[in-house]
Structure 1
Amino acid sequence: MGLESEGERRLRGAAARGDVRAAEILVGYLEFHGRRAEAASVLQQSMALGVPGLELALAGVLSEIDDHADESERWYRAAIEAGIPGAVNDFGVFLSDRGRTLEAESFLQKAASSEDVLAMANLGKHYFDLGDYRSARFWFGKALAKGHTGIIGFLARAELELGDRKSSSIHIKQALESCAEFALLAHALYLESSTDVDSREIDEAFTRALDDSPEAHFRYANWLKSQGRVDEAIARHKAAISLGEVHSHLNLAIIFDELERPADTERHLRLGMAGGDGESAAALARFLADEGRLDELPGVIREAEHIGHSAQDVEELWKMHNELD
């Protein structure tokens, strides 16, 4: 611990004298230890000393700090203005993560059209998350053709969603052989969608995929519920939530509703809404309507609209409210 403190002290001194490499190492060290506000301060200090090209790094650090989204956006735009490589792509991802879908798509397309391979992959993921699997497949394919093999697992999933099981199978095999990201989850989902696979094989595939991502826990939980293994599904959804999978709140609410546990149903709908899930907010509005708690509806519907839920569904929720009022 003493050595780390001495090393940090030396790095801070060098960074304060304008040593760019020392500043970079110090920022990486601080970020690794979750000290992002200090990392941002080091970058700002270096910029004040005249070190150029740090706008994108500062934007990225600030984007990970609560209540700094506006400041982060300003620095992303400054990085783009300065022509820093990767800035357009990174800003597109930043916008997508915050539900600003149309803006994100515009920036990611701009970056992808300039042959930014990472942007091609991110644009594919953007479309995948929106359920536009045809566009996702196109951009994943372009990224793969440019050498980005890390997205083979997602390409296989897009193909599976489109019903192209042959292509999906080929790419899943390649993904597994190259240990590509999300390959194990893609394989589990492929088996789940098959009609001639024993449930034990599917169970084992999902279990192997659990380290892939929080989504693996979410999808495994959904499969467990479909097998009637409700207690295991509840436990798996809770594990997904602990890893940041906010959509598991809605699925838990559905389970608890079926178990006639209204307090737990409402609790998870509210937690999902608080986590920014518009589907949870919409479901909460309908739950409250069924409960006759009409005075609470306007606030929930406004929150659904605020967090970017479907405009069409929000309109239907207001219509429901007006008819019940």
Structure 2
Amino acid sequence: MDEDIEERLRNMAQLRLDDLLEAGCELAEASRLADAESCFRQAMRLGSADGAFNLGNCLAEQERWTEAVDAYDVAIAGGVADARLNLGIVLHELGDLAGEIRAYQQAEAGGDSGGPLGMAFALREQGDREAALAAAQRSAASGNQTAAAVAACWQWCTSHDPSLEPDLRAGAALFPSARADLGDLLLTTGRIEEGRQVLEAGMKLGEVESMLPLGNLYADVLHDDAAAVAAYRAGAALGDAHSHHNLAVLLEQNGDLAGAEHHYRRAIEGGDTLAIRALRELLEEN
């Protein structure tokens, strides 16, 4: 951080509004959130809706959800349309489903294609998959390419329609599940080598969605246990319970019972209920 920004911080009370916003954004980019917050609060006190919006973002990054809601409300009242979408995200963190949906509806009404996409995820989390898909498709129809990728993924999961391949290809770089589903489609249609390459690309990018299916491909089709273990370990390191489970199965098959027990337990902790029986059988047999 250069000396100029430090000087501006020391004289914050004398800064003009534009300087406060500029300094706050520079500080936020440098992860100096407390200092950025001070700049944005001062800007909000001077009546800046943009200052309130940036303050909300700064507070949300610190997971201070309730304070962020208050800041976004000020921004929305001041005419910052983008704050509605961010408000929905924060209300999700607070578990306020009704408020979240309302915020996304208002964002959609204001022409923000992210509104129906946010609504799609909220509805899907509540189990209303039909309404979720419809919301994602509305977002896609408004030009949101990520929403198009999401809709293609959800359709693939229920239909396994090979005609979705162009949409999954287009969305692979936008939504990690689209890459994983593209890999699945390629494997399903017999293009094993290309499917492997797609899933390996996802793994190299750190996309956990590709790691479990890549491990399964190595273990079940290519019979490369070492590569399968590496893929499962990568997924497990990112908290994927199913990767823990499949890794445990492979370790058990190869005689590493202590390792298998460890990963069965981690799978159970992650919510993989099938791992409970597998662990019990391992302990009873050994």
- TM tier relative to shorter chain: 0.7 to 0.9
Equivalent position of 1:57 in the other structure: 54
Equivalent position of 1:169 in the other structure: 165
Q: Deviations over 1:277-320 (max 9, x none)?
A: xx35x679x57x969xxxxxxxxxxxxxxxxxxxxxxxxxxxxx
CA distance in 2, matches of 1:106, 1:130: 15
CA distance in 2, matches of 1:200, 1:160: 20
Return the TM-score normalized by structure 1.
0.66
CA distance 1:101–1:18, change in 2 (3 Å):
same
Equivalent position of 2:198 in the other structure: 205
CA distance in 2, matches of 1:219, 1:94: 32
Residue 248 of structure 2 aligns with an amino acid whose one-letter code is: F
CA distance in 2, matches of 1:85, 1:168: 34
Unaligned runs of 5+ residues in structure 1 are: 273-278, 292-325
CA contact 1:89–1:119 (8 Å) conserved in 2: yes
Q: Deviations over 1:81-100 (max 9, x none)?
A: 55531222212222335665
CA contact 1:112–1:123 (8 Å) conserved in 2: no
The one of 107, 113, 120 aligned to 2:116: 120
CA distance 1:164–1:267, change in 2 (3 Å):
closer
Deviation at 1:206, TM superposition (A): 0.8
Equivalent position of 1:136 in the other structure: 132
Equivalent position of 1:5 in the other structure: 2
CA distance in 1, matches of 2:167, 2:80: 34
2:231 equivalent to 1:232: no
Give the length in aligned residue pairs.
Answer: 270
The Cα RMSD (Å) is: 3.6
Deviation at 1:32, TM superposition (A): 2.6
Equivalent position of 2:153 in the other structure: 157
Q: Deviations over 1:221-272 (max 9, x none)?
A: 4544554555534433443465xx43x14530453267243234324544x4
Unaligned runs of 5+ residues in structure 2 are: 282-286
CA distance in 1, matches of 2:163, 2:137: 12
Task: Please give the secondary structure, in 2, of the residue aligned with 1:135.
Answer: helix
Return the TM-score normalized by structure 2.
0.74
Equivalent position of 1:298 in the other structure: none
Q: Which runs of 4+ in 1 moved over 6 A?
A: none
2:40 equivalent to 1:43: yes
Task: Please give the secondary structure, in 1, of the residue aligned with 2:159.
Answer: coil
Residue 236 of structure 1 aligns with an amino acid whose one-letter code is: A
CA distance 1:283–1:170, change in 2 (3 Å):
closer
Q: How does 1:67-82 map to 2 (within 5 A)?
A: 68-82=64-78
CA distance in 2, matches of 1:85, 1:94: 15
Equivalent position of 1:215 in the other structure: 209
CA contact 1:136–1:158 (8 Å) conserved in 2: no
CA distance 1:138–1:229, change in 2 (3 Å):
farther
CA contact 2:65–2:94 (8 Å) conserved in 1: no
Identity of aligned residues (%): 16
Equivalent position of 2:243 in the other structure: 251
Equivalent position of 2:182 in the other structure: 187
